[in-house]
Amino acid sequence: MFSKIHDGDRMKIGIDEKILRYITIFAVIALAVITTIGCTSAASTSSDTRTITDMAGTTSTIPVDVNRIGVSYPAMNQVIFMLGGADKIVATSSTVDTLPWLIKLYPQIKSIPQSLNTEVNMEELVKDNPDVVIMALSANTTTSKKIRDLGMPVVELNVSTPEQLKQAVSIVGDILGPDAKLKAKEFSDYYDSNIKLVSSKTADLPKDQKPKVLYTANNPLNTEGIGSIVTNWIELGGGVNVAAENGISGTFKDISMEDVVKWNPDIIVVRDAAQKPKIMEDPQWKEINAVKNGKVYVSPKDVYAWCVRSACASLMPVWSAKTFHPELFADVDMNQVVRDYCKKFYGYDPSDSEINDILNPTV
């Protein structure tokens, strides 16, 4: 009933089983190798990029090693320079033409394409081919969308307070890499130490000992108020921002001469040197306390103006405290403060004449 299996057939079956086992083993090994190669390839691809979250809460994918940066936010040129990444800037704005100290310390900035002005030259930006573009959070959202649509990651930053400034510098440090990240931490510690220095003497001053301060931005009748970093350094320095006190909120806000007369500031700090003679020589201003008492000051300026939204703002609390309350800060030598800062963050030892130009700018 059953077929008889001969010895030759048994031998043939044994050989077939061995071959089948070898084929199975080979297939398993091959599959393992293919899987390993696939995983390695995927890991290699994913390790070429990383994610970063900006101050708008947007997460973008950028290269692990960022080598090409577009800078739409003018003050970030200074931050990138401070963190040692200026050689990575491949696109910027025409604002750099107004920054003689940046040009002095990094003359190559003059040859970088200026495709990221208010009206972005998209065609030129594509040629510049940045790995990432840094913009101000308040910038035109349509523009940032257009840049993203071109396949370029956009990182948006906002600097209205010391904490936000430190966060922005930290994010830029992240973009640039490990060494820059360490430098960003040094900057944060430095800023904190300046705030601690001045607030230890100004925090408990009674209001009647705090001078009323007017800051002028784009022109003598343009100022900043609540929510601006300007208000922060005025208050840290032991003063009162008359604009904020009278309900002005935000940045670059127009006011009237009637407002100035009513507020009658004790001190005026102007962003640009050209504004000082306009105020001092205008008959409408002659009865203002700050003008009568010769207390109209130009904000110091090195790679960027100290009074606004750049890393130089870390110096402004010390300058304002020394200016508003010289008797409380008689031991503070601003010349030495400037020299130490430039050496620490720019790798540059300024001469006495250069320090004077920084503290008393004429342009």
Tokens read off for 3: 């077929």
Q: Is residue 187 part of a domain?
A: no
Q: Are residues 224 and 231 in contact, defined by beta-carbon separation less than 8 angstroms?
A: yes
* pLDDT value for 70: 98
Shared-domain flag, residues 139 and 220: no
Q: What is the CATH number of the domain that holds 331?
A: 3.40.50.1980
Q: Report the amino acid identity of residue 270.
A: V
Tokens read off for 355: 């320090």
Shared-domain flag, residues 257 and 320: yes
* pLDDT value for 255: 99
pLDDT at 40 over 90: no
* pLDDT value for 139: 60
Instruction: Give the residue from 119, 145, 179 where a domain finishes.
Output: 179
Shared-domain flag, residues 252 and 341: yes
- Containing structural domain, residue 174: 55-179
* pLDDT value for 47: 81
Shared-domain flag, residues 152 and 214: no
Q: Is residue 81 part of a domain?
A: yes
Shared-domain flag, residues 175 and 234: no
Angle between helices 162-176 and 178-202 (to 10 degrees): 170
What's the pTM value of the predicted model, to 2 decimals?
0.85
Q: What would the mean pLDDT of 296-317 be, rounded to a whole number?
A: 96
Q: What does the alpha-carbon distance between residue 88 and residue 85 come to, in Å, rounded to a whole number? A: 6
Total domains in the chain come to 2
Shared-domain flag, residues 351 and 227: yes
* pLDDT value for 33: 39
pLDDT at 25 over 60: no
* pLDDT value for 19: 52
- Any alpha helices (H) in the chain, and if so which ranges? 7-46, 75-82, 100-105, 122-128, 141-149, 162-176, 178-202, 229-236, 242-245, 257-263, 275-281, 289-292, 316-324, 334-346, 352-359
Shared-domain flag, residues 324 and 281: yes
Shared-domain flag, residues 118 and 164: yes
Higher pLDDT, 199 or 39: 199
pLDDT at 64 over 50: yes
Shared-domain flag, residues 227 and 352: yes
pLDDT at 7 over 70: no
**Mean pLDDT lowest among 158-162, 169-173, 296-300:** 158-162
| Residues pairing with 297 in the sheet | 269
Q: Is residue 9 part of a domain?
A: no
Render pLDDT for 225-273 as a digit per residue (tens, 0 to 9): 999 999 999 999 999 999 999 999 999 999 999 999 999 999 999 999 9
Q: What does the alpha-carbon distance between residue 55 and residue 168 come to, in Å, rounded to a whole number? A: 8
Q: Are residues 132 and 49 in contact, defined by beta-carbon separation less than 8 angstroms?
A: no
The confidence band for 29, taking pLDDT boundaries of 50, 70 and 90, is very low
- Nearest of 249, 288, 246, 245 to residue 270 by alpha carbon: 288
Q: Report the amino acid identity of residue 28.
A: V
Render pLDDT for 178-231 as a digit per residue (tens, 0 to 9): 999 999 999 999 999 999 999 999 999 999 999 999 999 999 999 999 999 999
Instruction: Give the residue from 137, 164, 179 where a domain finishes.
Output: 179
Shared-domain flag, residues 318 and 251: yes
| Coil/strand/helix, residue 347 | coil
DSSP 73-126: STHHHHHHHHTT-GGGEEE--GGGGG-HHHHHH-GGGGGS---BSSSB-HHHHH
Q: Is residue 79 part of a domain?
A: yes
